[in-house]
Amino acid sequence: MWAEEEVPANWNHGLITSLWKGKGDREMLKNHIGITVLSAVGIIPEVILNKRYAKHMEMTQAQAGGRENCSAYDHMFIARAIIGYGLKTKKPIFITFYDMSEAFDHAHVYDILNAVWTRGIRGMIWR
pLDDT tens digit sequence for 5-52: 887 887 777 888 888 888 899 888 888 888 888 777 777 887 888 787
Residue 103 lies in a domain: yes
Which of the 8 DSSP states describes residue 93? -
Residue 126 lies in a domain: yes
- φ, ψ of residue 108 in degrees (nearest 5): -90, 120
Q: Name which of 50, 49, 41 is nearest 9 in CA terms.
A: 41
Contact by Cβ (8 Å): 97, 83: no
Write out the residue range of the structural domain in which residue 77 sits.
60-127
> Structural domain tally of the chain?
1
Structure confidence by residue, pLDDT tens digits, 44-101: 887 888 787 777 777 666 666 566 677 777 778 888 898 999 999 998 888 876 766 6
Residue 110 lies in a domain: yes
Residue 38 CB partners (closer than 8 Å, separation 6+): 11, 13, 14
Distance CA 88, CA 114 (A): 47
Residue 81 lies in a domain: yes
pTM > 0.95? no
